[in-house]
Amino acid sequence: MTLARPLPPLFALFVTAALLSACASQPQPPKVTPVNATVKLGRVTEKTYLSRVDVDQAVPYGGTGVGVGAGGFGGNGGGGVGVGLSFDLTRLFNRPPPPQQIDLFQYKVQAQDGTLAAVNAPAAPGLEVGTCVRLTYADGATQPQMGPSNEC
């Protein structure tokens, strides 16, 4: 008794499905500052509380949770076809985390070239009045991104 050859194509189908699902579950790439950004150094001159906002936390798993499959087998003397549907039950039983509250501040920054910038940003450790900061204007934007710096 010899086995027919449907095993290698079935194996190839499973390997392909596994590779596709692995590629779909990779994390997002990091954000990169554009090459043509303008960077200015300055010091925080004023820090004013604006408001507190709720921010939804990232879901650790980002799939749809539903899968559909079909398979077929044919051989000597008969054949069969199967269809399947699966649901991810962890989405039903695991509640999403509650939103995180973040304090927003308006930072006024005096750049070394004399310009004054107002930046609305969340509270960050080390961003107090007198702190050296880096302002990054991406692609000529009027609202810069701000981060602490030790270059002043």
pLDDT beyond 90 at 7: no
Tens digits of residue pLDDT in 10-50: 555 455 555 555 544 455 555 565 578 888 999 999 999 99
pTM: 0.54
Q: Please provide residue 101's backbone torsions phi and psi, each rounded to the nearest 5 degrees.
A: -95, 130
- What does pLDDT average to over the chain? 74
pLDDT, greater one: 8 or 57: 57
pLDDT bracket for residue 113 (50, 70, 90): very high
Average pLDDT on 132-141 reads 87
What b/e readout covers 128-137, taking b as 16+ CB neighbours within 10 angstroms? eeebbbbbeb
Tens digits of residue pLDDT in 61-101: 555 555 555 555 555 555 566 666 666 666 667 777 788 89
pLDDT at 56: 83
Q: Are 108 and 118 in contact (CB under 8 A)?
A: yes
For residue 95, which amino acid is it?
Answer: R
> What letter does residue 67 receive in the DSSP assignment?
E
pLDDT beyond 80 at 104: yes
pLDDT beyond 90 at 105: yes
Torsion angle, alpha carbons of 114, 49, 143, 122, to 10: 120
